[in-house]
Amino acid sequence: MTSTETTPFREAPIQPGDLLLSIENLHACVEENEILRGVSLQIRAGEIHALMGRNGSGKSTLSKVVAGHPAYTVTAGSIHYRGQDLLGLAPEDRARSGVFLGFQYPVEIPGVSNLEFLRVSCNARRQHRGQEELDTFAFEDHVRETMAIVQMDPAFLERSVNEGFSGGEKKRNEVLQMALLEPLVAILDETDSGLDIDALRIVANGVKKLALPTTATLLITHYQRLLDAITPDFVHVMAAGRILRTGDKDLAMALEQRGYDWIEEADGSDTLQP
Amino acid sequence: MSSAATVEALNKTPYRYGFVTDIETEKISRGLDESVVRLISSKKQEPDFMRQFRLKAYAQWQTMAEPDWAALKYPSIDYQDIVYYSAPRQKEQKASLEDVDPVLLETFDKLGIPLSEQKRLSNVAVDAVFDSVSIATTYKQKLAEHGVVFCSMGEAVKDHPELVERYLGSVVPIGDNFFAALNSAVFSDGSFVYIPKGVQCPMELSTYFRINSDDAGQFERTLIIAEEGASVSYLEGCTAPMFDTNQLHAAVVELVALDDASIKYSTVQNWYAGDENGKGGIYNFVTKRGLCKGRRSRISWTQVETGSAITWKYPGCVLRGQDSVGEFYSVALTNHYQQADTGTKMVHIGPGSRSTIISKGISSGHSVNSYRGLVNMGPQARGARNFSQCDSMLIGDQATANTHPYIQSRQPEATVEHEASTCHISEDQLFYLQSRGIEPEAAVSMLVSGFCRDVFNQLPMEFAAEADKLLALKLEGSVG
Ligand SMILES: Nc1ncnc2c1ncn2[C@@H]1O[C@H](COP(=O)(O)OP(=O)(O)OP(=O)(O)O)[C@@H](O)[C@H]1O
Ligand SMILES: [Mg+2]
């Protein structure tokens, strides 16, 4: 495992435009059901991508396969991260090397302090990057500063991870984790769902701040309002486990107006129904 | 790593206290009969009441049979194959710590329990028991200034015979059960605590039990008395070397709390649990009971049970005093082929008495972990209340968890509430932590310690972190 490297390892510098994530003809199934049916997607440093599509089209599945969820089996295709075979890495090593998934449904972990969880997690990533690990005191300063990005009350540090958090609070906690881990590729799965109007603006601004010319972001969303705040370079539409169409921000606008039917019809959706 | 592989890794647990101290011991030959009981008593130069106590217990024990109702499987114990008295050979009278054999001091140093003056744990007084014989007690002087007596049971019999005679066997009668009777007949040593009226004990008291010998049984006896308005917090820790044979440990602990007194008794049990194939380990058959004798008295048991091949243990409270309070907070972690049958007994006698039971069982490997608890509401216990919560967590698919709550009530105005749950360690929680860069072993121990949080919060501050570390250690794998 790469996690026990003793020599400090610094991530090689990234230039805008470098290929960060490359998904080729990815097929994945869960309990015999094929959910992903040949997804291909290229994501470069400096880009913001939006992934849209009907409920059940496979968006979350794609994000979890990238993060390494054990329930999904990849049956064909590949995922490369910075040229390296990502599928060969354990989930924790993917995270340590800079792949981040903000969950659509973050789980509650009773009894585990949010502060301690965030500290252990942040240090795991820091260790991988050859940075000094932060002790409790140093981390507390660091996390309080970082919380300002999503305007989160430090009181959330004292609570158990996500336990009893409202839907919106959970999503902010996800963005806080993203800010602490400083990923190179961040996939945010419906981070905008469940946020009130002000929270949406705050979170969108936070994500925008974290999107650098040397990092890439994949926003999974159903709503134009997020994309009004963060302008995507590419918009992809997923249907029945495939990316059916790719366009720019205008495609998202068209979807907002017209729904999904016209695309599926145009692309011959009958062959794609499960 | 798949969760199956994670579990595989978890099952390779190191035990860091498995060394044996090479020291000359005084042992009597194997086997038990009345002459052995007399011999133990005379070696300890005991007064007549003590000898009679032992002989009576021995006579009772002979008429009793080993209990067979627990969910435990083990080959029958040959009571004639055990050495009933084993003590490190030391100078007759240890006037001070300086007289303690340096090899023993070194042993306790290695266990992280420094006894020597300079290195002592601050604000924790320690009674160090080695193979059932107390070898040193720290901070005795400072405690004496407050009138607190903290010494070995042997010393108490000599220096405070009236207290011992009055209270020994008053909570756990000699014929209470097979193992208690055996202990009453042959106990060698243990700790004695007396907190006088109105005194809040100025520091944590603790006993550290160390088994060293491979063929001697361990029979300690602890007695804690808190007079009216007194309070004390007491902690015991235990370790043993790794032998591939089994050692019997049958202790008895009695607590007595008078009016408005409170006793908090915490245990971190880490006896050797046997190897990954179930070979070796301690057979731990322990009777612990507290008597809330006075009004508004309070006794709280907190236990973190991680060791022993077999654990048979039900620390309970007899709530005799009106409005008295009994509490039981327990974490029992079993791995490999360990078997634990543990829980509590809350006997409500006094009106308005209250009890709380929080039990967390974690079973991994091929282990069997059972909660067994009794709540009894007597006819006088008007307005008495009990709340019980028993949660089990399974790691892997080879382990077993059982819950056996027994409720008996002869008082219609008493309330008993019981909640129970069993869960598997959740794949989604595990994945969430891993997806944040946390190693599977670290993630599992984080989840387990979160599961146990309510109990750890009850431990004295200094020991809560220890308990956390101990669980992590018990779950640590050798991958990486
Ligand atoms: N464990 C499973 N067993 C069977 N089917 C599953 C399982 N997990 C996911 N699926 C199915 O896979 C399909 C894709 O689910 P996924 O969560 O990826 O959709 P989504 O695009 O994220 O939808 P939404 O927009 O509603 O979040 C769904 O039809 C879902 O029911
Ligand atoms: Mg989804």
Nearest residue (by CA) to ligand 1, atom 31, is A56
Sign of CA dihedral B57, B58, B62, B65: positive
Q: CB–CB of B293/B328 below 8 Å?
A: no
Ligand 1: residues within 6 Å at CB? A 30-31, 33, 35, 53, 55-61, 71, 104
Ligand 1, pocket-test mutation among A29, A39, A61, A273, most atoms within 8 A of CB: A61
* Nearest-angstrom CA–CA distance, A45 and A211: 9
Exposed, middle or buried by CB within 10 Å (0-12, 13-18, 19+), for B310? buried
| Residue A169: its H or E element | helix A167-181
* Closest-CA distance of chain A to residue B150, Å: 36
pLDDT by residue for chain B (480 residues), tens only, comes to 334 444 444 444 466 677 777 777 778 888 999 999 999 999 999 999 999 999 999 999 999 999 998 888 988 899 999 999 887 776 555 556 666 777 777 777 777 666 766 566 666 777 877 776 777 777 888 899 999 999 989 999 999 999 999 999 999 999 999 999 999 999 988 899 999 999 999 988 988 877 777 777 889 899 999 999 999 999 888 676 677 778 888 999 999 999 999 999 998 888 787 888 888 888 999 999 999 999 999 999 999 998 888 999 999 999 999 999 999 999 999 988 889 999 999 999 999 999 999 999 999 888 899 999 999 999 999 999 999 999 999 988 888 999 999 999 999 999 999 999 988 888 899 999 999 999 998 898 899 889 998 898 888 776 777 777 777 776 654 222
Mark A228-242 as b/e (b = at least 16 C-beta within 10 Å): eebebebbbbbbbbb
Phi, psi dihedrals of residue B184, rounded to the nearest 5°: -60, -30
- Say how many Å lie between the CA of residue A61 and the centre of ligand 1: 6
Ligand nearest to the CA of A237: 1
> Residue B9 has what pLDDT?
43
ipTM over 0.90: yes
Closest CA in chain B for residue A63: B435
Work out which ligand 1 atom sits closest to the CA atom of A53. Answer: 21
Do B431 and A124 lie within an 8 Å CB cutoff?
no
* Closest-CA distance of chain B to residue A6, Å: 12
Do B454 and A111 lie within an 8 Å CB cutoff?
yes
Q: Rounded mean pLDDT of chain A?
A: 91
A107 reaches B (C-beta below 8 A):
yes
Q: Provide the token pair at B441.
A: 């072993």
* Cα–Cα nearest to B316, from B370, B376, B276: B376
Nearest residue (by CA) to ligand 1, atom 29, is A56
Q: CB–CB of B459/B432 below 8 Å?
A: no
| Residue B296: its H or E element | none
Do B432 and A103 lie within an 8 Å CB cutoff?
yes
Measured distance between the N- and C-terminal CA atoms of chain B, rounded to whole angstroms: 11
Q: CB–CB of B302/B265 below 8 Å?
A: yes
Work out which ligand 1 atom sits closest to the CA atom of A222. Answer: 25
> Residue B274 has what pLDDT?
80
Do A95 and B449 lie within an 8 Å CB cutoff?
no
Residue B238: alpha-carbon gap to chain centroid: 8
The fold adopted by the segment(s) A19-266 is Rossmann fold (3.40.50)
Exposed, middle or buried by CB within 10 Å (0-12, 13-18, 19+), for B478? exposed
β-bridge mates for residue B346, sequence order: B317, B375
- Say how many Å lie between the CA of residue A58 and the centre of ligand 2: 7
B472 reaches A (C-beta below 8 A):
no
Mark B442-456 as b/e (b = at least 16 C-beta within 10 Å): bbbbbbbbbbbbbbb
Exposed, middle or buried by CB within 10 Å (0-12, 13-18, 19+), for B165? middle
> Residue B252 has what pLDDT?
97
β-bridge mates for residue B329, sequence order: B302, B358
Task: Centre a 10 Å sphere on the Cβ of residue A270 and count the other Cβ atoms it contains.
Answer: 7
For B:413-432, CB contacts with A below 8 A are 426-429, 431-432
Phi/psi-derived region of residue B278, left when phi > 0, alpha when psi is between -120 and 50, beta in every other case: left
Cβ contacts below 8 Å, chain A against chain B, sum to: 85
Using CA atoms, how far residue A97 sits from A2, B172, B327, B446, in Å, is: 9, 59, 47, 22
Q: Between helices B3-10 and B427-434, what is the axis angle to 10°?
A: 90
* Cα–Cα nearest to A23, from A71, A88, A86, A98: A86
pTM recorded for the entire structure: 0.84
Of B435, B446, B480, the CB nearest to A67: B435
Nearest residue (by CA) to ligand 1, atom 6, is A30
Question: Which residues, at least 6 apart from A42, have a Cβ–Cβ distance to it below 8 Å?
Answer: A19, A21, A22, A23
Which runs of consecutive H residues, i.e. helices, occur in A182-260?
197-210, 224-229, 249-258
Give B373's Cβ-side CA count (13 Å radius).
30
- Say how many Å lie between the CA of residue A55 and the centre of ligand 1: 8
Q: To probe the interface with B, which of A120, A165, A174, A180 has the most B CB atoms within 10 Å? A: A120
Task: Centre a 10 Å sphere on the Cβ of residue B57 and count the other Cβ atoms it contains.
Answer: 23
Measured distance between the N- and C-terminal CA atoms of chain A, rounded to whole angstroms: 38
A91 reaches B (C-beta below 8 A):
yes
Q: Provide the token pair at A184.
A: 């190179």
Do A1 and B428 lie within an 8 Å CB cutoff?
no
* Nearest-angstrom CA–CA distance, B418 and A136: 38
Of A4, A67, A111, the CB nearest to B450: A111
Do B434 and A4 lie within an 8 Å CB cutoff?
no
> Residue A3 has what pLDDT?
43
Q: CB–CB of B279/B243 below 8 Å?
A: no
β-bridge mates for residue B284, sequence order: B249, B311
* Nearest-angstrom CA–CA distance, A219 and B406: 54
B358 reaches A (C-beta below 8 A):
no
Q: CB–CB of B373/B405 below 8 Å?
A: yes
Sign of CA dihedral A131, A136, A139, A143: positive
Q: CB–CB of B290/B323 below 8 Å?
A: no
Q: To probe the interface with B, which of A92, A121, A163 has the most B CB atoms within 10 Å? A: A92
Q: Which residues of chain A have pLDDT under 50?
A: 1-8, 269-274
Using CA atoms, how far residue B147 sits from A203, B140, B196, in Å, is: 62, 10, 6
Residues A122-165 have pLDDT tens digits of: 999 999 999 999 999 999 999 999 999 889 999 999 999 999 99
β-bridge mates for residue B234, sequence order: B205, B265
Strands B133-137 and B124-130, bridge-based pairing: antiparallel
B440 reaches A (C-beta below 8 A):
yes
For A:121-180, CB contacts with B below 8 A are 121, 124-125, 128, 160, 177
* Nearest-angstrom CA–CA distance, B123 and B121: 6
The SS3 of residue B86 is strand
Closest CA in chain A for residue B452: A111
> Residue B478 has what pLDDT?
22
